[in-house]
Amino acid sequence: MLRTHNCGELKSSDINKMVTLAGWVQKKRDKGFIIWVDIRDRYGITQLIFDEKRSTKKLYDKAKNLSREDVVQVSGKVIERESKNIDIQTGRVELLVEKLNILNKSEIPPFTIEDNTDGGEELRMEYRYLDIRRAEIRENLIFRHDVTMKVRNYLSKKGFIDIETPYLIKSTPEGARDFIVPSRMNQGEFYALPQSPQTFKQLLMVGGIDRYFQIVKCFRDEDLRADRQPEFTQIDCEMSFVNQDDVLNEFEGLISHLLLKLKNIKLNNFPRMTYDEAMKNYGSDKPDIRFEMKFGDLTSISKGKGFNVFDSEESIIGFSIKNGNSISRKDIDGWTNWVKQPQIGAKGLVWVRYNDNKTLKSSVDKFYSHDELIDWVKITHAEPGDLIFILSGDYKKTLKQLGDLRLAIAEKLSLRDPNIFAPLWVTDFPLLEWDNELKRFHAMHHPFTSPKEEDIELLKTAPEKVKANAYDLVLNGNEIGGGSIRIHNSNLQKQIFNLLGFTDKEARKQFGFLMGAFKYGAPPHGGIAFGLDRLVAILGGKETIRDFIAFPKNNSGRDVMIDSPSSIIKPQLDELGLSIVKK
Ligand code: ASP
């Protein structure tokens, strides 16, 4: 062994012991007659001391030449520190070095490997292995490990079996584009990397596995939005002989367990809300319910009072902000500009102040009487001291704009407290979504999701009205998981493929294996997948998932450390039958 102890473990009871440590030079303080060197490893930092009187000249000179990030092995005696640092575990002792062995010299690192590093994001991504030496990233990776171990143990105890499914598969439409892998042996043919193991986990249910899970990489070639990774990890699960409630209850158990074990938070309540309610009340299918600001529909009581803007619009919707009356006129103007920015796209913002003395002041006083404004107050559940914001326009657009405004205000008022955890199941999603560009339906969740039993008839007459046995788990305004009860009947599956625009032949070509399997006694089944990266980030109280991934890609989907994607050489292309013929 190159060491007897690690750099995080020596304490007062070790004084006078002879020990050997190994680690990286974090810092050197040369006082002229005494040199202190901090060495670091995964476990902590230990202070070394070299001094002109007690060390040999050779040793002292060697210490003088140490520089940051050199890898060293040191042996010596543990002694009591004169000025103790009680903030760190090893802060009461130091090591009087007798032997210094430089295991490897380091070049000066491109940024300081300290909590407050001077390295910018791109630079740290390029030298990720150095960034991982920093406590923050290291702790994040250890935290991720804790989460995944807890997930594995929990699910395994509950009878879920961890089974690997293939990465080289056939393209499955799940809403995103596939990453494609050319086949050398079958030129002109391609594998696809899985967007999720969806069809395989369903086939495992047909295979009688009953309860499956896998912590698995998924790949989606999507246009990159901030904080999305082209490859990401899911906790993927599937169960047989279950209905929707069974799945929700089972996984409430998992999330409660994680919150209890990792955050010491006891959650008894996972409220459930339908998709329609979530949209109507919060303008979002993943509402953050840590705060109120529930919408009120003012359409019917606000039209026909001479205010042209409202009279000509489909919907008039508002919400009240608790104690919002303290928001200044200037800030209200700021919010008005905010909703008008192109990304939001509202035409304007109407406001009402509900004063402490119950008088009202609004931007539309000319058109609405006190009593009429009192009706708005009631519908938006405002109380004296609150401020009401109202938007108008097309129903769906207005909901979305108001939903965005609600979140932005909550953010500004610091209502999105990362130490509060408010989970929410959103259920009864629409089965299909109309794609205006392609002029056809696509599956809102995925094509294997079952319609609600009572809506099956509507598939023929009004497919857009059909609700699905689909659910999302939302945590603090983030979708952390989603799943559904699946179709297990091959005729119904065929009908859905047809609705999604597949001819029988195309459906057979692409999904024949699944429809075939359904003919051999497929059990009723359903499941869910959680986004592990996001879940870990939220549990860790942070915003960016990149910080919890050892080797992430940047915002343009590049790995700047290994420089990928990159071109390949012509012989490689030839071998794959992919050579681009230049005209
Ligand atoms: N495969 C689905 C997804 O990746 C999850 C599920 O339905 O279980 O979103």
CA of 194 to the centre of ligand 1 (A): 11
Express each pLDDT in 533-566 by its tens digit.
Answer: 999 999 998 889 999 999 999 988 999 999 999 9
pLDDT at 542: 86
List residues bridging with 483 in a β-sheet: 471, 528
H helix runs in 413-489, sequence order:
458-461
The tokens describing 303, both together, are 């039209």
Residue nearest to atom 4 of ligand 1 (CA): 196
Express each pLDDT in 236-276 by its tens digit.
Answer: 999 999 999 999 999 999 999 999 999 999 998 899 999 99
The overall average pLDDT reported for the chain is: 95
- Domain residue extents for the chain: 12-104, 139-272+424-548, 291-415
Q: What is the mean pLDDT of residues 269-293?
A: 96
Distance from C-alpha of 494 to C-alpha of 35, rounded to nearest angstrom: 76
* 583, pLDDT greater than 60: no
* 283, pLDDT greater than 90: yes
CA of 157 to the centre of ligand 1 (A): 22
pLDDT band at 106 (very low <50, low <70, confident <90, very high): very high
Among 234, 429, 469, 525, say which to mutate for ligand 1: greatest number of ligand atoms within 8 Å of CB.
234
Distance from C-alpha of 173 to C-alpha of 447, rounded to nearest angstrom: 8
Task: Enumerate helices (H) and strands (E) in the chain, giving the number of each.
Answer: 17, 22
pLDDT band at 1 (very low <50, low <70, confident <90, very high): confident
* 418, pLDDT greater than 90: no
* CATH number for the domain formed by residue range(s) 291-415: 3.30.1360.30
* 174, pLDDT greater than 70: no
pLDDT at 34: 96
* 19, pLDDT greater than 70: yes
The tokens describing 106, both together, are 């380091």
* 529, pLDDT greater than 70: yes
Type of residue at 163: I
Query: What's 491-516 look like in SS3?
Result: HHHHHHHHHCCCCHHHHHHHHHHHHH
Q: What is the mean pLDDT of residues 498-508?
A: 93
Question: How does DSSP assign 40-64, residue by residue?
Answer: EETTEEEEEEEETTTS-HHHHHHHH
Residues in the ligand 1 pocket, defined by CB under 6 Å:
196, 198, 446, 482-484, 527-529
* E-only strand ranges, 428-545: 432-435, 440-443, 470-475, 478-485, 525-531
Q: What is the mean pLDDT of residues 430-441?
A: 92
Neighbours of 101 (CB within 10 A): 13
List residues bridging with 530 in a β-sheet: 235, 481
pLDDT band at 223 (very low <50, low <70, confident <90, very high): confident
pLDDT at 228: 87
CA of 4 to the centre of ligand 1 (A): 48
Which is the CATH superfamily of the domain at 139-272+424-548? Bira Bifunctional Protein; Domain 2 (3.30.930.10)
CA of 528 to the centre of ligand 1 (A): 6
Q: What is the mean pLDDT of residues 508-515?
A: 92
Among 174, 198, 248, say which to mutate for ligand 1: greatest number of ligand atoms within 8 Å of CB.
198
pLDDT at 173: 62
Express each pLDDT in 52-66 by its tens digit.
Answer: 999 999 999 999 999
pLDDT at 172: 66
pTM value is: 0.93
Contact assessment for residue 382 and residue 303, using Cβ atoms and an 8 Å cutoff: no
How far from 330 is each of 13, 336, 387, 409, 426, CA to CA, in Å? 62, 10, 14, 15, 37
CA of 264 to the centre of ligand 1 (A): 29
CA of 236, closest atom in ligand 1: 8
Distance from C-alpha of 156 to C-alpha of 213, rounded to nearest angstrom: 9
Distance from C-alpha of 220 to C-alpha of 211, rounded to nearest angstrom: 26
Class of 12-104 per CATH? mainly beta
Express each pLDDT in 67-92 by its tens digit.
Answer: 999 999 999 999 999 999 999 999 99
Question: What's the half-sphere exposure (Cβ side, CA atoms, 13 Å) at 173?
Answer: 12
List residues bridging with 72 in a β-sheet: 23, 102
CA of 527, closest atom in ligand 1: 8
Distance from C-alpha of 361 to C-alpha of 327, rounded to nearest angstrom: 13
Q: What is the mean pLDDT of residues 213-224?
A: 93
The rounded percent of the chain whose pLDDT value lies above 90 is 92
CA 389 to chain centre: 30
The tokens describing 441, both together, are 């339906």
pLDDT band at 458 (very low <50, low <70, confident <90, very high): very high
Residue nearest to atom 1 of ligand 1 (CA): 198
* 580, pLDDT greater than 60: yes
CA of 201, closest atom in ligand 1: 8
At 69 the three-state DSSP class reads coil
Distance from C-alpha of 139 to C-alpha of 534, rounded to nearest angstrom: 16
Residue nearest to atom 6 of ligand 1 (CA): 483
* 225, pLDDT greater than 80: no
What does the angle CA 420 – CA 424 – CA 428 come to, to the nearest 5 degrees? 165
Residue nearest to atom 8 of ligand 1 (CA): 528
* 149, pLDDT greater than 60: yes
Contact assessment for residue 119 and residue 110, using Cβ atoms and an 8 Å cutoff: yes
Q: What is the mean pLDDT of residues 282-291?
A: 97
